[in-house]
Structure 1
Amino acid sequence: MNIIRISSLLGVAGFVLQVATSKETLKVSVLVWPPGSNIYLGESVLLQCSVESNSSFEWSYQWLKRRPHAAPVPTPNPRHLVSGDSYSITAVTREDAGSYRCQAKPWESNTSVVLISQPVALSVSELPPPSLLTLTPSTRQIFRGERFTVQCPVSQTNSSGWMLRQFPQGRGVRRVFDTGGCSPLGGSVSADESNKCVFTAYSGKSGLYWCAGTEGRSNAINITVSYGAIILKTPAFPVFEGDKVVLYCQYWRGIHNKTTFFKNGAKIVTYSSTSSDRVIKMTIENVTQEDEGFYKCASQDREMESPESWLSVRLDRGNFTSTDGTAPSTSAGSWTWIILSCAIVALFLIPVTVWLIYHYRWCRCWPFSKADLPAVELPVTNQDVTEVQWDLSWMEMSNLLDKRLYPGS
């Protein structure tokens, strides 16, 4: 017991000594991937708690969030996942705006030293990103050995201005990989399009992907390469109310007679199959926001169960991308409303203007009816007369002015 206690005290003393000698380099901060404080609806975002220290201790992390004009969120959001030094957000919504910070403390030490980062404020943009990344097939989960393609948008000003970037998953030291081509990321250029990279899925290909260039960055998507026995493929990008959505439950191998689909942990439906097809489909006709949530599938005996995958549903398309990830062609909807509003205003103003001209041209109080008469200088009135005149009615005031301007009329 004494040996353990002495060892513990020596550990604390050693940590305190390390902190004292490296105080100027002891720092914790929050890194945002993709970089920047502006995030976009429907994309994936990852926050990383980074500790700069000369000590060799392992760190444990805790995350805090505060929404604008609201108390701290007491319960975790199902779209928010904490893993080690990472805080990931799946399918960003307006609720994800707020201030985030992390705190770190030594994992194997009884010391009370706690490092707290400065808050990082994230704002959710109501506008789409400058350009959009395209993923084929459109799914966040993919089996090892399968092929997928990531395509950067074609720049309007520079055909080679976009770079594909990846932030890999996993603990330990990580860095962003970027390239103007595909080979540095382990991919190959598509034979069809030079800005499309083809990858073969393995563990090193899991992570965040986005495109960056002089015009800004694209939306980011998180891809997970599975080494399990079953996955569920949901659309990687948001779908819109009224769309037809197909979820694919895919087995790695074998024949499975029955497959059950779940939403937010509750059973939805069970499909029977007698074919050797390893893919079971569930179709949602006319999807609504009530269909948004986490989905998974499982074999009949529940021995094989896929990881959950989020289905994001939006009310309307607006100026955002379609489900296949293509960019909006024009802002025709906005121009239509502008033109329609101008037409309505014009239809209202024209008859009103005509009526006013006709009415005041023939009104007795309008001076233009006597424009051919020589102008007569207005008499100077004292202050109290003016005050009385302003208390008169408009017609009485008009008669008074006529008598002064045109005597004998």
Structure 2
Amino acid sequence: MNILISSLLGVAAFVLQVATVIGKVGVSVWPRGSNIYLGECVLLQCTLGSNFRSVRRYQWFRHNSYTAPTPNPRHVVSGDSYSITAVTREDAGKYWCQADWWKDNTTLVAVPSMPTVLIVSELPPPSLTLTPSTRQIFKGETFLLQCPYSSGWKMMQFSLDKKDLYTSNCPTPGDAVSIDKCEFTVAGRESQLYWCEDTKSRSNTVNITASNGTIILKSPAFPVFAGNKVVLYCQYRIGNHSNATFFKNGREIIAETFFSSSDGVIEMTIENVTLEDEGLYKCASQDRKMESPESWLSVRPARGNFTSTDGTAASTMGSWKWIILFCGIVLLFLILLSVWLICHYRYQRFCTSSCLALPIENLPAVELPATKQDVTEVQWDLSWMEMSSLLDKQLYPGT
């Protein structure tokens, strides 16, 4: 009996301890808020309470509690972080994490977080300007960020490595170019998210990776439109190199045209970019001893064509065609109804004035009866006509 009571007390204590930590596991979204924009970069972070001391692993889930995130080159899971590059409509939905931690180094406890719902906004965000427009940069180089408007905005930085948020109030001595522009010098090797925000809204984000290596790939930092010309630059830190190899999704690119400039930058040009050109790109030296980090090239449908990524037609022109067709059908119905009402009204007036029974004096002459039977029939006819005339006078006075 005592063993049973102690076991029950142990289970109750364990349940109580688990209950105290449930709810202290959460998901933070950077930039803050559940609304995200097409083409931008987003980071989800699994946050823990003070009760967690030894976490064995993190697990991420999407849409439901039974499926882990499907493999996607734009989705990268690294411990307590879940990053999404070049957001698409398919990225909307519920996300949550699970922390597996040791209780007294003997029992592994799995504690899930509450789900966070990401909503992909179809409206274009206030645009952040980046110069030069590239996601990769060498340590020690500078780049320029410009907020959408000249007042009320703050430049925000979030370090993907340190998980720290910084605020830059431009202008500051040595860093500011103007009130709405900030110049940054990369001091270390790390990746950071940059965006502008005020009290009501925020701009889109951009992810900039600082490299301490010998080679980087400079690709467009923001989505490009199908049909445009795109140039990828493979840049070496030192040395005058004239050759490089470009890769897409891990495979060497053979058919494209390469061009080497005098400063050792090798260019690859895609004249008419399509949705099929989307993917992870990198460059490397010919001996493969030097490789750049990978960057995602995001391609949007041509301007004015809003076909969704899953192939369903969502163009504005198609919607307008259906609306115009529906309005035409309704208008035709109203015209036919109006014509019918007018004809019916005129018919009623015509019958009222001209379709009444004729008075007796206007009746046509009837041939005199030749026999007694004929006389009787004529008398019946006359009585019926007199009765009809009387009824007509009562129904239509004045006739």
Query: Is TM (by shorter chain) over 0.5?
Result: yes
Paired residue secondary structure (2:253): strand
- With 248-257 and 282-291 compared, the bigger mean Cα shift is at 248-257
After superposition, the C-alpha distances for 1:183-229 in whole angstroms (9 at most, x for unaligned) are 3xx97221xx4201111122277311111113411111111111111
After superposition, the C-alpha distances for 1:105-128 in whole angstroms (9 at most, x for unaligned) are 348945312222111111212222
Q: Which amino acid aligns with 1:60?
A: R
- Are 2:101 and 1:112 equivalent residues in the alignment? no
- With 292-301 and 144-153 compared, the bigger mean Cα shift is at 144-153
Question: Match for residue 152 of structure 2?
Answer: 161
Question: Match for residue 47 of structure 1?
Answer: 44
The answer to whether the Cα contact below 8 Å between 1:33 and 1:47 also exists between their aligned partners in 2 is: yes
Shift of 1:295: 0.6
Question: Match for residue 212 of structure 1?
Answer: 197
- Are 2:187 and 1:198 equivalent residues in the alignment? no
Q: Which amino acid aligns with 2:295?
A: S
Question: Match for residue 117 of structure 2?
Answer: 121
Q: Which amino acid aligns with 1:176?
A: L
After superposition, the C-alpha distances for 1:71-115 in whole angstroms (9 at most, x for unaligned) are 735642111112232111100111211211111234894531222
Question: Match for residue 253 of structure 2?
Answer: 268
After superposition, the C-alpha distances for 1:7-65 in whole angstroms (9 at most, x for unaligned) are xxxxxxxxx99x96994698211111111112111000000111112454355322122
**C-alpha spacing 1:288/1:408, structure 2 compared with 1 (3 Å):** farther
- Are 2:223 and 1:238 equivalent residues in the alignment? yes
Output the CA distance in 2 between the equivalents of 1:349 and 1:56. 71
- Are 2:135 and 1:140 equivalent residues in the alignment? yes
Output the CA distance in 1 between the equivalents of 2:265 and 2:245. 12
- Are 2:156 and 1:170 equivalent residues in the alignment? no
Q: Which amino acid aligns with 1:252?
A: R
Paired residue secondary structure (2:25): strand
**C-alpha spacing 1:268/1:195, structure 2 compared with 1 (3 Å):** same
Question: Match for residue 87 of structure 1?
Answer: 82
Output the CA distance in 1 between the equivalents of 2:220 and 2:49. 38
**C-alpha spacing 1:170/1:404, structure 2 compared with 1 (3 Å):** farther
Q: Percent identity?
A: 54
Output the CA distance in 1 between the equivalents of 2:393 and 2:322. 49
Q: Which amino acid aligns with 2:187?
A: Y
The answer to whether the Cα contact below 8 Å between 2:260 and 2:267 also exists between their aligned partners in 1 is: no
Q: Structure 1 regions of 5+ residues with no counterpart?
A: 1-15, 321-332, 374-401
- Are 2:270 and 1:284 equivalent residues in the alignment? yes
The answer to whether the Cα contact below 8 Å between 1:26 and 1:53 also exists between their aligned partners in 2 is: no
Q: Which amino acid aligns with 2:120?
A: V
Q: Which amino acid aligns with 1:113?
A: V
- Report the TM-score, using the length of structure 2 for normalisation: 0.71
- Are 2:170 and 1:181 equivalent residues in the alignment? yes
Count of aligned positions: 338
After superposition, the C-alpha distances for 1:108-162 in whole angstroms (9 at most, x for unaligned) are 9453122221111112122222x121111111111112111111111xxxx5221
Output the CA distance in 2 between the equivalents of 1:212 and 1:46. 17
5 Å-filtered alignment, 1:298-377, equals 298-318=284-304, 349=331, 353=335, 361=342, 366-367=347-348
Output the CA distance in 2 between the equivalents of 1:66 and 1:298. 38
Paired residue secondary structure (1:95): helix
The answer to whether the Cα contact below 8 Å between 1:187 and 1:200 also exists between their aligned partners in 2 is: no
Output the CA distance in 1 between the equivalents of 2:159 and 2:139. 15
- With 261-270 and 229-238 compared, the bigger mean Cα shift is at 261-270
Question: Match for residue 239 of structure 2?
Answer: 254
The answer to whether the Cα contact below 8 Å between 1:258 and 1:271 also exists between their aligned partners in 2 is: no
Question: Match for residue 373 of structure 2?
Answer: none
Question: Match for residue 8 of structure 1?
Answer: none
- Are 2:285 and 1:293 equivalent residues in the alignment? no
Output the CA distance in 2 between the equivalents of 1:198 and 1:124. 30
The answer to whether the Cα contact below 8 Å between 2:279 and 2:298 also exists between their aligned partners in 1 is: yes
Q: Which amino acid aligns with 2:144?
A: T
- Report the TM-score, using the length of structure 1 for normalisation: 0.70
Shift of 1:350: 9.2
- Report which of the two structures shows the higher radius of gyration computed on alpha carbons: 2
Q: Structure 2 regions of 5+ residues with no counterpart?
A: 1-12, 307-314, 355-391
